Amino acid sequence: MALRPPALRAGHLRLLPVAVALVVAAAGLLGAQAQAAEEDSDPLGYVIDPAALDDPATVADGAELFRVGCVSCHGPGGVGSPRGPGLTGAGAASAHFYLTTGRMPHTGASDEQAIRKPPAHSPEEIEALVAYVASLGEGQAIPHVDLAEGNLQEGGDLFRGECAACHSATGAGGALSFGQNAPSLDEATPVQVYEAMLVGPGQMPVFSPTAFTEEELNSIVLYVETLQNLGDPGGFSLGRVGPIPEGFVAVVVGTGGLMLVVFLIGRRRTGEAEPASQPVRPADTVGAGR
Amino acid sequence: MTSEEAVAKATPLSRRTARWLDSRLGAAGFARKALDKVFPDHWSFLLGELALWSFVILIATGVYLTFFFDASVEEIIYNGSYVPLQGVEMSRAYASALDISFDVRAGMVMRQVHHWAANVYLATTVVHLMRIFFTGAFRRPRELNWLIGVGMLIFSIVNGFVGYSLLDDQLSGTGLRIAHNIALSIPVGGTWLASLFFGGDFPGPDLIERLYVIHILLLPAVIIALLGLHLALVARQRHTQFSGPGRTERNVVGERVWPTFAAKGTAAFFLTAAVLCALGGLAQINPIWLYGPFRPAEVSAASQPDWYMGWLDGALRLWPGWEIRLFGFELPTPFYPSVLLPGITFGLLALWPFLEARITKDRDEHHLLDRPRDRPLRTAFGVSTLAFYTVLFFGGASDVLAVTFQTSVNALFQAFRIALLVLPPLAGFVTYRLCQELARRDRPGASTEAPRVAPAASDDGADNRRQIEPEDEPELDPASTAGVPRG
């Protein structure tokens, strides 16, 4: 009676290139992780020149772009519509945040959460649109981020106390009710993090300068930047979302791999000597009672 | 030089050592017998060995970690080499765990191998348990060893939880807070129990030290004692085997311990060590430096327990918010999913051999294993149970799944609640039909086999052995109504 699957001797050799490929891929990924962040002319992520927003010509350009791409939801002159909020008083920080993170223009249903994607507009267009929205009424200006003013340790304490409940302590993001989520902060630039705290996009509360000092806001931004650039000293990060992927790796890769190992070493090979048979008691003969 | 010395000089040192030991301990006879022992050869009999070797790696790495871990909740200012936490106030326990990760030579890899080994140890234990269950290896005379195994599983799960709760980071503190609330939810005595174990209100000043003693002394000692018993009973009662040509209830067909089985065991050890070290060296696990020191007022999104506790977390999340008052006592919501459910789970698991013997009225000794297909009801029940706990596990991962797959966590809760009721019976039914189909296909080939022999209950000699008539024991004869359980 054949309890064992057919012999898989060739499988040994077939596994070798797979193992080699895995090792090479692992080395490559580790190397990529270790690569230093490349030089950037705009490390804080301004994209535009905030000082140029007062130019009437830029505002006029923005009004033109607004009539093309934004008016169907935000209404003529930004007064709002059933499909989108009014923008009078939204301010430059809000427009800058939504346009540079690609959350506007919104592509999903109007009650869906806007998600981060590559910006739809060029930096010049974003500059014009931000200038136009800023001209609609008083609002938060684009903040001046000064990482040197921040304190990393204080930023960590504030982040774990105020932000981790939704964005998770690692900044990987987390679920909110009914399909909403607090997004991952992996790609957020310092200016965007600062702006998000000022304007409170989506479900996020506003952390205004009356709640936090500028120094504290800068500290949080510094901590988020550090989280992004910290690297993972333990190896592959597994997404930094805690024990769920860790358990998956332990069960599927670790235990699954070990089961494959005992399958390979545990099955008897063809051509081997006949198996030994031992009666339970020396007095018994093998197969007695047949 | 006397002639005696000359003889001694000509004999290899290894042989002289063996003789020296034998003349004092009489060990040669025992060793010869042990090495001559025949172990049946099926790859799945090595699954338990994976758990054993993972446990050995756990002990080895754990001992290294105890040299550097400081189980104290005294608050200090961290001054180690992890910059983002320099100057932050934290407990000595958390600070020493950071030191192990960043300042102790090989500390990080030891910590990670230890944690991966814990996860893999419990996973291989569960796979081993599944093998025992689905092949009916727990039947008489091995019920005691089944109970010992279930005991080890429970103690190991608890020790795993206690282990990652020691570090006093934000994630482990969140887990301990939940454990505290579970203890509080026990009616009548819960408040006392929680206060007694946690040393007052949560988080008490003694908690970490108590957990440390439990983690490195109490539970390992209990597990090692049970492990010794477990292995001794396997040797004493001999290992089960699958039926096949020449294999009967009264013999063992396979490989002798020396050299074949010993070589396989050694290979299994080194390969287990290799896989665990590869995981520990390449894949980051439990990055406590990102979680920060435990502050009772804070919590992070995506706070999950390790996988072997995941089903409990899932049960807590999926259970509806029922509160009942009975005889003046409150039965709080967490009681059902986190006290009653594990009670039923491990109670049923422990009593299974006795329940099955009662249902099937099969109280004979069994040394030949069932193939899962030959016991479709048991197999279906097992798969159904696995489906139940798998759904619970995914329920515990619902917020991570919601973010990963861009869907609503509320919708997932409803989906998992429905799946919890629908999937287990469905999986059981499909398994039952698959078993029947597989058993049916086996029939023509299997009918040529010699009738098998089972010893009588008294089992004191050849005279008591009897031929088993097919109508007497239908599951032993695949040619008849294979797949219909007895009783």
pLDDT for A107: 87
Return the residue of B nearest to A273 by Cα: B255
Q: Which of B164, B162, B171 is nearest to B198 (CA)?
A: B162
**pLDDT values of chain B reduced to their tens digit, one per residue, 487 residues:** 566 666 666 788 889 988 888 888 887 888 888 888 888 889 999 999 999 999 999 999 999 999 999 999 999 999 999 999 999 999 999 999 999 999 999 999 999 999 999 999 999 999 999 999 999 999 999 999 999 999 999 999 999 999 999 999 999 999 999 999 999 999 888 999 999 999 888 888 889 999 999 999 999 999 999 999 999 999 999 899 998 888 889 888 888 888 888 999 999 999 999 999 999 999 999 999 999 999 999 999 989 999 999 999 999 999 998 888 888 888 889 999 999 999 999 999 999 999 999 999 999 999 999 999 999 999 999 999 999 999 999 999 999 999 999 899 999 999 999 999 999 999 999 999 999 999 999 876 554 444 444 444 444 443 333 333 343 334 444 444 444 444 3
- Amino acid letter, B306: D
Q: Are A249 and B284 within 8 A, CB to CB?
A: no
Q: In angstroms, what separates the C-alpha of B32 from chain A's closest C-alpha? A: 14
pLDDT for B245: 85
Q: What span, in angstroms and rounded, lies between the C-alpha atoms of A219 and A224?
A: 9
Share the mean pLDDT of chain A: 85
Nearest to A277 among B253, B410, B467 (CB): B253
B405: Cβ contacts below 8 Å, ≥ 6 apart:
none
Please give the structure tokens belonging to residue B177. 């807070």
pLDDT in tens, A130-171: 999 999 988 899 999 999 999 999 999 999 999 999 999 999
Q: Is the peptide bond before B353 cis (omega within 30 degrees of 0)?
A: no
Q: Is the peptide bond before A243 cis (omega within 30 degrees of 0)?
A: no
Beta strand pairing call for B38-40 and B251-256: antiparallel
* Residue B116 near chain A (CB below 8 Å): yes
Share the mean pLDDT of chain B: 89
DSSP-based three-state secondary structure for B28:
helix
Average pLDDT over every residue of A51-59: 89
Q: Are A284 and B250 within 8 A, CB to CB?
A: yes
Q: Which of A222, A228, A164 is nearest to A194 (CA)?
A: A222
State the residue for tokens 């550090």.
Answer: A226
Split at pLDDT 50, 70, 90, the class of A237 is very high
Q: Are B353 and B396 in contact (CB under 8 A)?
A: no
Split at pLDDT 50, 70, 90, the class of A281 is low
Please give the structure tokens belonging to residue A79. 């007064």
DSSP-based three-state secondary structure for B171:
helix
Q: Is the peptide bond before B141 cis (omega within 30 degrees of 0)?
A: yes
Q: Are A169 and B102 within 8 A, CB to CB?
A: no
User: Positive or negative, the Cα torsion across B82, B86, B89, B91?
Assistant: positive
Q: How far apart are the first and last CA of chain B?
A: 78
A38-140 and A143-230 in the same fold? yes
pLDDT for B77: 97
Nearest to B284 among A236, A265, A267 (CB): A236
B202: Cβ contacts below 8 Å, ≥ 6 apart:
B176, B177, B180, B194, B296
Q: In angstroms, what separates the C-alpha of B305 from chain A's closest C-alpha? A: 6
Q: What span, in angstroms and rounded, lies between the C-alpha atoms of B484 and B449?
A: 19
Q: Are A233 and B101 within 8 A, CB to CB?
A: yes
Q: φ and ψ at B169, to 5 degrees?
A: -90, 175
State the Rg of chain A over Cα: 30
* B269 to A252, B54, B65, B234: CA distances (angstroms): 19, 8, 21, 19
pLDDT for B187: 86
pLDDT for B234: 93
Q: Which of B1, B44, B451 is nearest to B242 (CA)?
A: B44
Higher-scoring residue by pLDDT: A221, B446: A221
Split at pLDDT 50, 70, 90, the class of A31 is low
Q: Are A173 and B403 within 8 A, CB to CB?
A: yes
Q: Is the pLDDT of residue A46 over 70?
A: yes
Choosing among 1.10.3210.10, 1.10.760.10, 3.30.70.930, 3.40.50.2300, the CATH entry for A38-140 is 1.10.760.10
Q: Are A262 and B50 within 8 A, CB to CB?
A: yes
Q: Which of residues 157-216 of B touch A (CB under 8 A)?
A: 170-171
- Residues in B touching A172 (Cβ below 8 Å): 302
Q: Are A156 and B397 within 8 A, CB to CB?
A: no
DSSP-based three-state secondary structure for A138:
coil
pLDDT in tens, A63-113: 999 999 999 999 999 999 998 899 998 999 999 999 999 999 998 887 788
Name all contacts of A50-53 with Cβ < 8 Å and 24+ positions apart: A50/A92, A50/A141, A50/A142, A52/A127, A52/A131, A53/A92, A53/A127, A53/A130, A53/A131, A53/A134, A53/A142
Please give the biggest Cα pair distance in chain A: 108
Sheet harboring B251-256: ordered strands across?
A276-279, B251-256, B38-40
Please give the structure tokens belonging to residue A29. 């990924």
DSSP-based three-state secondary structure for B199:
coil
- Residues in B touching A283 (Cβ below 8 Å): 462
* Residue B405 near chain A (CB below 8 Å): no
Domain ranges of chain A: 38-140, 143-230
Return the residue of A nearest to B116 by Cα: A250
| CATH (residue range A143-230) | 1.10.760.10
Please report the DSSP string for B273-330 in residue order: HHHHHHHHHHB----HHHH-B--TT---SS----HHHHHHHHHHHHS----EEETTEE
- Residues in B touching A227 (Cβ below 8 Å): 290
User: How many CB atoms lie under 10 A from the CB of residue B97?
Assistant: 26
Q: Are B301 and A157 within 8 A, CB to CB?
A: no
Nearest to A266 among B43, B243, B307 (CB): B43
Domains and CATH numbers, chain B: 41-315+329-338 (1.20.810.10)
